[in-house]
Amino acid sequence: MSHTRTLWEEGHEPGRQVVALGLAVALTAVVLDLLMVGRISLFFDLCFVALCVVIALAVRPRDFFTVGVLPPMIMVAVFTLLGFTRPAMIADRGDGVVQAVVSGLSHHSVALVVGYALCLTCLAVRQRVGNR
């Protein structure tokens, strides 16, 4: 009897590729936000939450830890890059890099918490289904 794989059993991408995918999608959302409104907006937040779910579903079970710590790292990396290059997208123009990163994280903390919670929930469900 053949067993049909569920959504929770489909992920097969190596952790390194998922990290690269996460960074690429997050930076793409930043560029699109820059072109549309000139700052980080709700669009980035929605893309980030969706990205967190996608990477949790795409990764192979052996690399769950990598994705389990990835969402905050992606957001910090993106905001650090913006703090160095375009701090006005996430903070006031005169803010330094550290202040811009802290401001960006605080303004987008809801997206970070929701995305991270969904990511960890997806990983937990996948772990539970995989152990059955």
| pLDDT tens digit sequence for 61-102 | 999 999 999 999 999 999 999 999 999 999 998 899 999 999
Is the residue at 1 inside a domain? no
- Please name the residue that has the structure tokens 């803010």: 95
What's the structural domain count of the chain? 1
Q: Which phi and psi (to 5°) does residue 59 adopt? A: -75, 150
Give the dihedral sign, CA 29/50/59/1: negative
Q: What is the pLDDT of residue 110?
A: 98
pTM: 0.90
Q: Which domain holds residue 65?
A: 7-131
Is the residue at 114 inside a domain? yes
Region 25-45: what's the mean pLDDT?
96
Is the residue at 100 inside a domain? yes
Average pLDDT along the chain? 92
Write out the two tokens for 79.
């905001």
CA distance 118 to 91: 27
Is the residue at 24 inside a domain? yes
Is the residue at 2 inside a domain? no
Is the residue at 64 inside a domain? yes
Is the residue at 17 inside a domain? yes
Instruction: From residue 122, give the alpha-carbon distance in Å to each of 21, 41, 52, 68, 100.
Output: 18, 25, 9, 10, 31
CA distance 35 to 5: 40
CA distance 106 to 108: 5
1 has pLDDT over 50 = no
